[in-house]
Amino acid sequence: MAVDAVIIGLGYVGLPLAQEASRVGKTVLGLDINEGVVADLNAGRSHVDDLSDADIAAMIEAGFEATTDESRIAEAKAVVICVPTPLAEDGGPDLGAVESAVGMVARHIHPGMLVILESTTYPGTTDEVVRPALEAGGLVAGQDFHLVFSPERIDPGNEKFGAKNTPKVVGGHTPACTEAGAAFYGAFVDTVVPTKGTREAETAKLLENTYRHINIALVNEMARFCHELDIDLWDVIEAAKSKPFGFQAFYPGPGVGGHCIPIDPNYLSYNVRARLGYPFRFVELAQEINSGMPAYVVSRAQDILNEEGKALKGSTVLLLGVTYKPNIADQRESPAVPLAKQLAAKGAIVRYHDPHVSTWRAVPEAQRVDDAAAAAGEADLTVLVQSHREYDVDALAQAARTFFDTRGVVTESDKVTRL
């Protein structure tokens, strides 16, 4: 029996996509190399924040199945590649997982198949890396099979926008490929946005996240000099965003994290340098500023303790929230990691609390505490790194000896210093 879609990569991107396709009656097969993930899904257990065990059970009831068997790609009408593309050592994207997935598809491709890449990468990847591998067996993209790039736009933990109601950008190798991709997604996504081709779709994703990266860097740099000039930046932002046009509010923080902002703009910067021989200066400066924020927070923490007559070395510092964004368990590229490591390197005793993280493998030297309020009362300094909804931040600030709010969410208190 033919499968409507095989989705390769069952993480934060692939699994919500599989859910939406299953909901409209498509027969969906999930393919992943992680045997544990496959076993858990087939047993009805979710491993991502945005889907519950009940969601997985409903998918299975609708016909969803997970497998590690790549030969089943041959059954598919469409294949969607949703594998990670981390940064390589040279600053470009590590396409190892993409190349592996494309190799699987190439071994089982057949005439009429729709092949879609969703993994974020540099402009030209679909045409220069994916297409030659798929055409190696003799089939031609745009003639014998359809080839599309459609960037993932999943925002883990976003309760307003998900895979269904986030507009889907679709760029095909040919206009007919674009139409095929649009028809596939149009069955379960509310809005499809076609582009001229694959390169435009690839670049659109990078522009989205570069825009955010640069604007976050802007307010992070403003946070530094506003502190020196005794200006309340949070109040400044509130005033500025009262303008009903021409301004979008961005907020400072202890750094940027997740699978997009710290990584995707670097693909564009790398591509500009590699192909054109000059730097994308906005991106490189933004990266320098944002990656330096954990060190800035450490410096501010040291100053706060000094004002209390204490040295950072030997002081207990409690970090509240160590995930990369609020209300989820995702720790990818979390700025809490370099923050904790730099505190420990300067001799601080680092403890942490996070309702979503039971074991912080990235920072094994940090001790987990169960009671945030009690730990805040014992710590020399408490730093709010991530403002989870489970936290009563005002109560925690009152319980703390000294409280450093890097998110600007605590109301006025004589114990609180804001970033």
Tens digits of residue pLDDT in 107-134: 999 999 999 999 999 899 999 999 999 9
Do the bridges between strand 3-8 and strand 416-418 make them parallel or antiparallel, or are there none, so unpaired?
unpaired
Is 260 considered catalytic here? yes
Annotated active-site residue in 82, 177, 226, 260: 260
Q: Comparing 45 with 330, which gets the higher pLDDT?
A: 45
Kindly tell me if the per-residue pLDDT of 272 is higher than 90.
Answer: no
Q: Comparing 145 with 94, which gets the higher pLDDT?
A: 145
Please state the rounded mean pLDDT for residues 157-162. 90
Kindly tell me if the per-residue pLDDT of 268 is higher than 60.
Answer: yes
- Sheet containing strand 168-172, strands side by side: 65-67, 28-31, 3-8, 76-81, 114-117, 146-149, 168-172, 192-194
The predicted structure's pLDDT at residue 274: 81
Cβ contact 116:291 at 8 Å: no
Please state the rounded mean pLDDT for residues 232-239. 96
The predicted structure's pLDDT at residue 382: 98
Kindly tell me if the per-residue pLDDT of 264 is higher than 80.
Answer: no
The predicted structure's pLDDT at residue 47: 94
Give the span between the Cα atoms of 329 and 141, in whole angstroms. Answer: 40
Q: Comparing 49 with 201, which gets the higher pLDDT?
A: 201
Q: Comparing 183 with 414, which gets the higher pLDDT?
A: 183
Among candidates 378, 366, 415, 379, which has minimal Cα distance to 394?
Answer: 415
- Helix 281-291 to helix 198-228 angle, to the nearest 10 degrees? 50
- Among 3.30.70.120, 3.40.1350.10, 3.40.50.720, 3.60.150.10, name the CATH number for the domain at 292-419: 3.40.50.720
Alpha-carbon separation of residue 416 from 250, 390, 398 (angstroms):
22, 19, 9
pLDDT tier, 269 (very low <50, low <70, confident <90, very high otherwise): confident
The predicted structure's pLDDT at residue 414: 73
pLDDT tier, 93 (very low <50, low <70, confident <90, very high otherwise): confident
Rounded-to-5 percentages of helix, strand, coil across the chain: 40, 15, 45
When the pLDDT of each residue in the chain is averaged and rounded to a whole number, the result is: 94
Kindly tell me if the per-residue pLDDT of 43 is higher than 80.
Answer: yes
Kindly tell me if the per-residue pLDDT of 193 is higher than 90.
Answer: yes
The predicted structure's pLDDT at residue 294: 97
pLDDT tier, 415 (very low <50, low <70, confident <90, very high otherwise): confident
The predicted structure's pLDDT at residue 267: 79
State CA 370 to chain mean position distance. Answer: 27
384, burial (CB in 10 Å: exposed 0-12, middle 13-18, buried 19+): buried
Give the span between the Cα atoms of 283 and 122, in whole angstroms. Answer: 14
* Fold designation for 3-196: Rossmann fold (3.40.50)
Report residue 29 as tokens: 């097969």
The predicted structure's pLDDT at residue 90: 73
Report residue 66 as tokens: 């997970």
The predicted structure's pLDDT at residue 278: 84
Q: What is the pLDDT of residues 301-350, one digit of tens each?
A: 999 999 999 999 999 999 999 999 899 898 988 999 999 999 999 999 99
Kindly tell me if the per-residue pLDDT of 1 is higher than 60.
Answer: no
Considering all CA atoms of the chain, what is the largest pairwise distance in Å, rounded to the nearest integer?
A: 74
Q: What is the pLDDT of residues 8-33, one digit of tens each?
A: 999 999 999 999 999 999 999 999 99
Kindly tell me if the per-residue pLDDT of 56 is higher than 90.
Answer: yes
Q: What is the pLDDT of residues 236-254, one digit of tens each?
A: 999 999 999 999 999 999 9
The total of other beta-carbon atoms located within 10 Å of residue 378's CB is 16
- Where are the domains positioned within the chain? 3-196, 292-419
Return the percentage of the chain with pLDDT > 90, whole number. Answer: 84
Angle (nearest 5°) at CA 169 between 166 and 171: 165
pTM (2 decimals)?
0.91
Residue 276 DSSP label: H
SS3 213: helix
Please state the rounded mean pLDDT for residues 146-164. 93
